[in-house]
């Protein structure tokens, strides 16, 4: 059986969990809790992933996989290959990368407060990360709504997980302001069974 090193609040882990739901592979994976920060990695995870990040997916028939994009691509292939459609592959990959970039910046903002001593928190760094997120959100609203409204793919899953993480950790910044189309799309997508089953609580 495969094992997934897992932390419920991680948007990258959630992306993998949603993929497992959408591809019908939950029963093939054992969930292994992993509690860690960049300065205190989980020893069980680092035994399989030298970078010490989550998610990590172990397999009985090959080396462990890590980085959510690699894991999701593998799970999609294993489950029938529907979430990376060839007809719009580059758009799907670019949308997934955009959403992952939002997640990266949002997680770094959390770690700036959680890991760094309070007297050393750098507001300019926080502002720079939020600027990345703002540009990406504006791009989603301005360029990607037709793709988001199309057939389910990994770009949509990643985007929904990124927006969910903004609500979880940065809700006071109100990413929805001025982005009515994206907000309406997120509201609909969040009702999918895979999204409600993987929602983390504050």
Between the two ends of the chain, the Cα-to-Cα distance in Å is 31
**At the topology level of CATH, where does 86-196 sit?**
Glutathione S-transferase Yfyf (Class Pi); Chain A, domain 2 (1.20.1050)
Q: Where are the domains of the chain?
A: 2-78, 86-196
Q: What percent of the chain has pLDDT over 90?
A: 80
- Provide the greatest CA pair distance for the chain: 51
**pLDDT-wise least confident of 116-120, 147-151, 166-170:** 116-120
Read off the tokens for 87: 């007809």
Could you tell me which of 106, 114, 93, 90 has the C-alpha nearest to residue 162? 106
Out of 3.40.50.150, 3.90.1580.10, 3.40.30.10, 3.40.50.2300, the CATH code matching 2-78 is: 3.40.30.10
The phi, psi pair for 14, rounded to 5°, reads -60, -40
For 2-26, what is each residue's pLDDT tens digit?
999 989 899 999 999 999 999 999 9
Q: With bands split at pLDDT 50, 70 and 90, how would you rate the model's confidence at 39?
A: low
Radius of gyration of the chain (CA): 17
Q: What is the pLDDT of residue 37?
A: 67
Query: Does this model's pTM top 0.75?
Result: yes
């Amino acid at each position: 059986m495969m094992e997934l090193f897992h932390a419920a609040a991680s948007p990258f882990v959630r992306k993998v969990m949603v993929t497992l739901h959408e591809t019908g592979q939950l029963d093939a994976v054992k969930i292994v809790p992993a509690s860690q920060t960049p300065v205190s990695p989980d020893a069980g995870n680092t035994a399989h992933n030298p970078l010490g990040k989550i998610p990590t997916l172990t397999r009985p028939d090959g080396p462990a996989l890590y980085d959510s994009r690699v894991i999701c691509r593998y799970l999609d292939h294993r489950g029938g290959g529907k979430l990376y459609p060839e007809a719009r592959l580059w758009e799907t990959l670019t949308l997934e990368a955009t959403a992952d970039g939002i997640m990266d910046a949002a997680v770094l903002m959390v770690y700036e407060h959680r890991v760094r001593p309070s007297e050393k928190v750098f507001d300019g760094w926080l502002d720079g990360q939020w600027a990345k997120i703002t540009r990406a959100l504006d791009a989603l609203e301005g360029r990607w709504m037709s793709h988001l409204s199309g057939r389910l793919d990994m770009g949509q899953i990643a985007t929904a997980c990124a927006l969910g993480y903004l609500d979880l950790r940065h809700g006071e910044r109100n990413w929805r302001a001025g982005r009515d189309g994206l907000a309406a799309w997120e509201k609909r997508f969040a009702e999918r069974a895979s999204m409600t089953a993987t929602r983390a609580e504050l």
